[in-house]
Amino acid sequence: MLIIGSGAAGNSLALQLPDDMSVALISKTELHEGSTYYAQGGISAVLSNIDSIDQHVEDTMEAGAGLCKPDVVESIAKESKVIIDWLLEQGVKFTKKNGSSSRDKLHLTQEGGHTYPRIVHAADKTGEAIQESLINKVKKKSNIKLFTHHVAIDLIVSKDKNTNNKKCIGAYVLNKKNNLIDIFQAKFVVLATGGANKVYLYTSNPDTSSGDGIAMAYRAGCDITNMEFMQFHPTCLFHQKAKSFLISESLRGEGGKLLLPNGNSFMHKYDSRGVLAPRDIVARAIDSEMKLHGLDYVLLDISHKKNQFIKQRFPTIYKRCLDFNIDITKDPIPVVPATHYTCGGINIDINAKTNIKNLYAIGEVAHSGLHGANRMASNSLLECIFFSKKVLEDIKNKRKESHSDISNYLDHNKNKNISEEVIIKHSWQEIRTLMWNYVGIVRTNERLLKAKIRVSIYKKEIEDCFNKNIISGDLIELRNLVCIAEIIIISALTRKESRGLHYNLDYPSTKIKGTDTVINIDTKNNIRLYQQK
């Protein structure tokens, strides 16, 4: 099996595969680097007596604004206790009440959209705790071969001459250590590459989130669904030297207040739930207030809580803010919205299967139907583990399949020029700035159409550069990034309403019945389908 991506989704799958199964695990940089590691909040699970599966489902469906798949939401909510138990078995040290080791004594906090406290966490660095535990286990398994500093270029897909059905049989992968391209052949290929939030100028995500898996799957012929729903986290630290540092939603869950610089609160004007409204509502409220008052940021204040509580509950945020001379026990935190999560992605079924045989997608790269038009906080890590188990179940009866022969070899880097890094960096910056200004939190048809024209020009230039020059990791990411930008823009233009994370001033109302936006590509590399269905 080939697993592309080493976050919670990829690592948890690798760990659960049988010991007699050969596994190649691809990581763009070091194993720990990725969105999982930086996830602060936690993982949602129904563990308290006051809570229920039905309530978790209802909260998730409401946050998803009519586009969640009920069967998927219910299945994942029901599995939440089992998933927490499995993570505890892997050695994840979640925060407990009074030092207890029992699952029943795990400390639960509350975040936006959740009716009750149901967020299991490890202080304010849950992702780091999960990632480190999984990596420690992965390194001990002899059947898993790790390939760090390798970046996938494209999937290798065969087509049946009689049925025209496609089957994934491997991938082209660049070894960034020596700039050589290898072919990885596999019976099963799993995309666990994370989201595409680096397509925007400001993001809470690390540099690895360039949408590689979605772009590769798109080029291979997968259905890509609901990419207009890019979640902006309401509260990222606003500071010139603070690169993409997230201020966890759990800080608001513990009593943090959103304020204007003059000290006035404002969330009550937008939603009765105030600071604990779903992320799309809070992000738009902050964006609206910033534009109304000409502000660069708003304030998030938890200084009214006791010093000891703040330092114990939010040690990472406390220390990081101190680096910028902000003492959160005394001072409010300047914050702004930034892209945080890709709610759309590669369309999968309940078994994580794509529309290409033997190709699976799990985690943020996938569109499973759990998040709908807006992801509820702390459901994403839950989704990662759930679908890794589904892949395991689905391949049990397929392991006896023979390998497909890969006789063609594409040497991308033979007899090519070395591309100038300045061109790549310039294109990168322009695309991300364009997406931020034209395809942001609030959209219009005029801005979207202008963005579409400009991105199409960039795409042709970058594809030409890719075909003529020696391939580098940066060039691969740039090629994927412009592909993602085009998909987002077309998806946004297709949706003739405002729903969840997509808000268009030209279509401010929400249709009664929600539909998905599906994008695909034909063999001539042109958009074939961009209609709601």
**What does each of the 533 residues of the chain score in pLDDT, given as a tens digit?**
999 999 999 999 999 999 999 999 999 998 888 788 777 779 999 999 999 999 999 999 999 999 999 999 999 999 999 999 999 999 999 998 865 545 568 999 888 789 999 999 998 889 899 999 999 999 999 999 999 999 999 999 998 777 788 999 999 999 999 888 889 999 999 999 999 999 998 888 888 899 999 999 999 999 999 999 999 988 999 987 777 788 988 899 899 999 999 999 999 999 999 998 888 889 999 988 998 999 989 999 999 999 999 999 999 999 999 999 999 999 999 999 999 899 999 999 999 999 999 999 999 999 999 999 999 989 999 999 999 999 999 998 787 766 666 655 454 554 455 556 777 888 989 999 999 989 999 999 999 999 999 999 999 999 988 888 888 899 999 999 999 999 999 999 999 999 999 999 999 999 999 999 999 875 333 333 333 33
Q: Does 309 lie in the same domain as 241?
A: yes
Q: Does 433 lie in the same domain as 492?
A: yes
Tell me the catalytic residues.
279
Q: Does 366 lie in the same domain as 287?
A: no
Q: Does 481 lie in the same domain as 449?
A: yes
Cα 36 to Cα 469: distance, rounded to the nearest angstrom: 33
Structure tokens at 93: 């040290």
Q: Does 316 lie in the same domain as 379?
A: no
Does any domain span residue 29? yes
Q: Does 320 lie in the same domain as 303?
A: yes
Cα 256 to Cα 253: distance, rounded to the nearest angstrom: 7
The count of structural domains within the chain is 3
Task: Give the predicted TM-score (pTM) of the model.
Answer: 0.89
Assign residue 395 a region (left: φ > 0; alpha: ψ between -120 and 50; beta: otherwise): alpha
CA distances from 21 to 26, 145, 161, 187, 412 (A): 16, 11, 30, 11, 30
Which CATH number covers residue 476?
1.20.58.100
Determine how many CB atoms are found less than 10 A away from the CB of residue 419: 18
Cα 399 to Cα 21: distance, rounded to the nearest angstrom: 9
Nearest one of 365, 128, 125, 336 to 244, comparing CA atoms: 336
Does any domain span residue 486? yes
Q: Does 253 lie in the same domain as 316?
A: yes
Does any domain span residue 255? yes
- Looking at 277-398, list the stretches that DSSP marks H as alpha helix, in order from N- to C-terminal side: 279-293, 307-313, 315-322, 380-395
Identify the bridge partners of residue 106 per DSSP, sorted by sequence position. 96
Which CATH number covers residue 261?
3.90.700.10
Which CATH number covers residue 383?
3.50.50.60
Q: Does 367 lie in the same domain as 424?
A: no
Q: Does 266 lie in the same domain as 294?
A: yes
Does any domain span residue 78? no
Q: Does 267 lie in the same domain as 241?
A: yes
β-pairing, 345-347 vs 257-259, is unpaired
Domain, as residue range, for 322: 233-339
Asked which of 293, 315, 339 is the last residue of a domain, the reply is 339
Q: Does 321 lie in the same domain as 351?
A: no
Cα 97 to Cα 311: distance, rounded to the nearest angstrom: 16
Cα 333 to Cα 318: distance, rounded to the nearest angstrom: 10
Does any domain span residue 410? no
Does any domain span residue 195? no
Nearest one of 124, 131, 46 to 85, comparing CA atoms: 46
- 4 burial via Cβ count (<10 Å: 0-12, 13-18, 19+): buried
Q: Does 141 lie in the same domain as 35?
A: yes
Does any domain span residue 222? no
Cα 3 to Cα 26: distance, rounded to the nearest angstrom: 6
Does any domain span residue 526? no
